[in-house]
Structure 1
Amino acid sequence: MKEQAEDGECIQNMSPIFPKIGHPIGREKKKDSTFLMDSQLRYEAHQYALFNTGDEQVKKFIEEHKNLMSNATRSNALSRARNHSQEFSNWFEEKVKNVEMPDYLLRLAKGPNWVAKRYTAYWVNGYRFHTKAQDTPCKTQNSGVTLSATTDSFASARDQNPINGEVIYYGVIHDVIEIDYYGCFSVVLFGCDWFYNEVDEYGLTHIYLNRLCSTDDPFVLASQVHQVFYVEDPIEKGVYYLRNKVPIDVYDLVEKNSPNIGETFWREPNDEIGSLSRLNNADIRWSRDDVPINIVHMSSNAQDLKDTTKEILDEEDEIDDTDWDWMEADD
Structure 2
Amino acid sequence: MEEGYLLEECLTFCSRYMDDVETKFNKQDRIYDDDGDDDISSTDCLPIFGIRGRAFGKENPRLLSTKEWEEIHYYVLNNCEEVQPFIDEYNRDATNATGMVSSRKRKFIQWFRDQVTTLSKRKHPSATNNLISLAQGPDRAVVSVNGYMVNGSMYRTKDSERERETQNNGVVVKGESGASNLEYYGLLQEIIEVQYIGRNRVILFKCDWWDVHTQGQGIITDSFEFVSVNTSKVLANDPYILASQAQQVFYVDDVVKPNWKVVVKTTPRNSYDVPELNE
Q: Is the 8 A contact 2:133 2:198 kept in 1?
A: no
Which secondary structure state, in structure 2, belongs to the residue aligned with residue 139 of structure 1?
Answer: coil
TM-score, normalised to structure 2's length?
Answer: 0.71
Q: Is the 8 A contact 2:191 2:206 kept in 1?
A: yes
Match of 1:105 among 113, 127, 131: 131
Q: Corresponding residue for 1:16?
A: 46
Which secondary structure state, in structure 1, belongs to the residue aligned with residue 229 of structure 2?
Answer: strand
Unaligned runs of 5+ in 1: 1-10, 152-163, 251-331
CA distance in 2, matches of 1:103, 1:21: 21
Q: Is the 8 A contact 2:70 2:106 kept in 1?
A: no
Q: Corresponding residue for 1:191?
A: 206
Amino acid at match of 2:169: S
Amino acid at match of 1:181: Y
1:128 Cα deviation after fit: 0.5
TM-score, normalised to structure 1's length?
Answer: 0.61
Q: Corresponding residue for 1:228?
A: 249
1:204 Cα deviation after fit: 1.7
Match of 1:50 among 70, 77, 82: 77
1:53 Cα deviation after fit: 1.6
Distance change >3 Å, CA 81–CA 64, structure 1 → 2:
farther
Deviations 1:191-210 (A, max 9, x none): 00000232333222111111
Amino acid at match of 2:211: Y
Between the two structures, name the one with larger relative contact order (CA 8 Å, sep ≥ 6).
Answer: 2
CA distance in 2, matches of 1:227, 1:136: 18
1:12 Cα deviation after fit: 3.8
1:54 Cα deviation after fit: 2.4
Q: How many residues align?
A: 216
1:34 Cα deviation after fit: 2.1
Structure-to-structure mapping, 1:165-176, within 5 angstroms: 165-166=179-180, 167-176=182-191
> Which of structures 1 and 2 has the bigger CA Rg?
1
State whether structure 2 residue 110 is matched by structure 1 residue 90: yes
Deviations 1:200-251 (A, max 9, x none): 33222111111111x221000000010001111101100001001221228x
Which secondary structure state, in structure 2, belongs to the residue aligned with residue 242 of structure 1?
Answer: strand
CA distance in 2, matches of 1:116, 1:81: 24
State whether structure 2 residue 138 is matched by structure 1 residue 117: no
Deviations 1:89-124 (A, max 9, x none): 121012212113111111111110111111010111
1:136 Cα deviation after fit: 1.7
Amino acid at match of 1:193: D
Q: Is the 8 A contact 1:143 1:172 kept in 2?
A: yes
Q: Is the 8 A contact 1:107 1:184 kept in 2?
A: no
Which secondary structure state, in structure 1, belongs to the residue aligned with residue 133 of structure 2?
Answer: helix
Which deviates further from its counterpart, 193-202 or 121-130?
Answer: 193-202
Q: Corresponding residue for 1:264?
A: none
CA distance in 2, matches of 1:230, 1:74: 38
1:27 Cα deviation after fit: 3.8
Which secondary structure state, in structure 1, belongs to the residue aligned with residue 114 of structure 2?
Answer: helix
Structure-to-structure mapping, 1:145-156, within 5 angstroms: 145-151=171-177
1:43 Cα deviation after fit: 1.3
Q: Is the 8 A contact 2:90 2:96 kept in 1?
A: no
Distance change >3 Å, CA 72–CA 26, structure 1 → 2:
closer
Distance change >3 Å, CA 192–CA 74, structure 1 → 2:
closer
Deviations 1:7-34 (A, max 9, x none): xxxx942323320211111244xxxx32
Distance change >3 Å, CA 149–CA 200, structure 1 → 2:
closer
Which deviates further from its counterpart, 17-26 or 188-197?
Answer: 17-26
1:131 Cα deviation after fit: 0.4
> What RMSD, in angstroms, separates the aligned Cα atoms of the two structures?
2.2
Unaligned runs of 5+ in 2: 1-37, 121-126, 213-218, 272-279
1:139 Cα deviation after fit: 0.9
Q: Is the 8 A contact 1:65 1:84 kept in 2?
A: no
Q: Corresponding residue for 1:248?
A: 269
- The sequence identity of aligned pairs, in percent, is 28
Q: Corresponding residue for 2:195?
A: 180
